[in-house]
C-alpha cells in the first residue's frame, strides 16, 4: 500500500496534466457538437426535403460508423489527400469528436423539438408569428430545457470516448498513462490510477449536470 501511495505521488501530477487535455477536448467537442447538432436536428425536422434528407444522411453515416474511424479520417486520411489540411492531434481530435457528437445531439434535438405540443406552434401562428419565429421564440427555448439531461449524458460519454484520441499520439489521460507504463512497466498501478481519475471526472461532471438541470428546471 505504501509503495502504491509513493508511486501515485510521483506520477499523479503527470496523469492530471493528461486529464486536463481530456477535459479540454470534451468541453470543446460538446460545445461545437451541440451547435452543429442543433442545426442538423433543425434540418431533420425541417419541411424542406433537401435539408431533411441531408440531415438524415449525416446522422445515418456518422452514427453508423465508429468514432475511431472518424479520428483516422480527420487526422490521417484527409491530410494524405490534402496536405494543406494537416492538423495537430489536438485539433484533429476536437473536430472528429465534434462531428461524431453532433450526430447524436441532432437526434436529441429532434426528439426534444418533436416532444413540444404542436398546439403551441399553431397558437403562435395565430398570433401572427411566422414558422421560423415560432420555432425560435416558442419551441426551441422549451426544447432546449428538455435537451439538457441527454446533453449532460453525452458530455459524460465524451469524456470516456476521448480516450480514443491516444491512438493519434495525443497525450491525453490514457496516452500519458501508457507513456508512464513504457518506462515503469507498472501496468496495474497506472491503469488503476487512470481508472480512478476517469471515475472522478465523470462523477464530478454528473453532479454539475444535475445541478444545472435543476437550476433551469429541465424536468418540469
Provide the residue count of the chain.
Answer: 220
Does residue 147 register a pLDDT over 90? Answer: no
Q: What is the CATH number of the domain that holds 185?
A: 1.10.3720.10
Residue 213 pLDDT level (bands cut at 50, 70, 90): confident
For 7, counting Cβ atoms within 10 Å of its Cβ (0-12 exposed, 13-18 middle, 19+ buried), the class is: middle
Give the number of domains in the chain. Answer: 1
Query: Whole domain around residue 92: which residue ranges?
Result: 2-216
Residue 125 pLDDT level (bands cut at 50, 70, 90): low
How much of the chain, in percent, has pLDDT values that exceed 90?
Answer: 69
| Residue the block writes with cell 499520439 | 169
> Model confidence over 168-180: pLDDT tens digits?
989 999 999 999 9
What's residue 124's pLDDT?
Answer: 65
Amino acid at each position: 500500500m505504501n509503495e502504491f501511495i509513493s508511486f501515485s505521488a510521483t506520477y499523479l501530477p503527470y496523469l492530471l496534466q493528461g486529464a486536463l487535455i481530456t477535459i479540454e477536448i470534451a468541453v470543446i467537442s460538446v460545445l461545437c457538437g451541440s451547435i452543429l447538432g442543433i442545426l442538423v436536428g433543425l434540418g431533420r425536422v425541417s419541411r424542406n426535403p433537401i435539408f431533411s434528407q441531408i440531415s438524415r444522411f449525416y446522422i445515418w453515416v456518422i452514427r453508423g460508423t465508429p468514432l475511431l474511424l472518424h479520428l483516422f479520417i480527420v487526422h490521417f486520411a484527409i491530410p494524405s489527400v490534402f496536405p494543406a489540411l494537416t492538423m495537430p492531434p489536438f485539433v484533429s481530435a476536437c473536430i472528429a469528436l465534434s462531428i461524431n457528437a453532433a450526430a447524436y445531439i441532432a437526434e436529441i434535438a429532434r426528439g426534444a423539438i418533436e416532444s413540444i405540443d404542436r398546439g403551441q406552434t399553431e397558437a403562435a401562428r395565430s398570433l401572427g408569428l411566422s414558422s421560423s419565429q415560432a420555432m425560435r421564440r416558442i419551441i426551441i427555448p422549451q426544447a432546449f430545457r428538455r435537451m439538457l439531461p441527454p446533453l449532460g449524458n453525452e458530455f459524460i460519454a465524451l469524456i470516456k470516448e476521448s480516450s480514443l484520441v491516444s491512438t493519434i499520439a495525443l497525450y491525453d489521460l490514457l496516452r500519458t498513462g501508457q507513456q508512464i507504463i513504457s518506462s515503469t512497466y507498472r501496468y496495474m498501478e497506472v491503469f488503476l490510477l487512470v481508472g480512478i481519475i476517469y471515475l472522478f471526472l465523470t462523477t464530478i461532471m454528473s453532479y454539475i449536470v444535475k445541478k444545472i438541470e435543476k437550476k433551469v428546471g429541465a424536468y418540469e
